[in-house]
Homo-oligomer: A and B are copies of this chain.
Amino acid sequence: MTITTDTETEKRGWTQNPDAVKRDILSVAISEFAANGLSGTRVDTIASRTRTSKRMIYYYFGDKQGLYIKALEEAYRVLREGEAALDLDDLPPREALAKLVAFTFDHHRRNPDFIRIVMIENIHHADHLAQSEVARAMDVPALGKLAEVCRRGQEAGVFRPGLDPVALHWQVCALSVFNVSNRPTFSTIFGTALFEEAAQERLRAQLVEMILALVEQPHP
């Protein structure tokens, strides 16, 4: 009868630890789903990369699709948690928008696995996202901040009226997501030059310029 105190979670003895087991499974699942897609992923493979067994996957997540949905929710959660940490309140509208756009670009680059899960969900026509009230009801900090910056900019008279924050978000997302999601095919065909650090910084700068130009004047 050992007394493994096990203060910092995760230990083997074994002691029961539902939360750690769930987290362990979910983290492996995200990486497997991101790498192989929904039908390409093997539940046995996930289990084998886990400290626990396949039994636990079904115990906690019901079935493969249930696990996938949780992974999808987690992907969105992490992406949005990162956005929420961004503070723009101290900056004037122009600079705030520039910072937000540049951040979005970098943030997507830093989280390729989550972008890939979103791609996979798109392949499946967003059916599981539609099922998940959690993910659908989730706040989208980037859009909120964007709308707020637009409002401030218009109030200050530096942005033109009639801006559509959702359309702006769509444009920023498009470049930021494409940069990650289509990198394999794009670089296979056109070479890897655009994905080296210097080129990425230039693309990011151009994205910021494009968005600012779009927001400032209709026709100069």
User: Using a CB–CB distance below 8 Å, which chain A residues touch chain B?
Assistant: 36-40, 116, 118-126, 129-130, 136, 140, 143, 166-167, 169-171, 173-175, 177-179, 181-191, 193-194, 199, 202-203, 206, 209-210, 213-214, 220
Contact = CB atoms under 8 A, between A and B. Distances in A.
A129 B210 contact: no
A122 B185 contact: yes
Nearest to A135: B189
**Interface centre among A38, A174, A191, by most B CB within 10 Å?**
A174
A191 B167 CA distance: 11
B38 A185 contact: no
B119 A170 contact: no
A202 B170 CA distance: 13
A79 to B, nearest CB: 12
Contacts of A38: 37, 40
A31 to B, nearest CB: 14
A120 B199 CA distance: 26
Q: Oligomeric state, in number of copies?
A: 2
A122 B117 CA distance: 12
B123 A188 contact: no
Given A39-B36, A213-B213, A122 B167 contact: no
8 smallest CB-CB distances across A and B, nearest first, come from A126-B184, A174-B178, A39-B40, A126-B188, A210-B210, A39-B39, A126-B185, A174-B175
Given A40-B38, A193-B166, A206-B171, A121 B178 contact: no
A215 B212 CA distance: 15
Given A170-B186, A214-B209, A181 B119 contact: yes
25 contacts: A38-B40, A39-B40, A116-B123, A118-B182, A118-B185, A119-B119, A121-B184, A121-B185, A122-B185, A126-B188, A129-B184, A129-B189, A140-B190, A166-B190, A166-B193, A170-B178, A170-B186, A170-B190, A170-B194, A171-B175, A171-B206, A173-B186, A174-B178, A206-B214, A210-B210
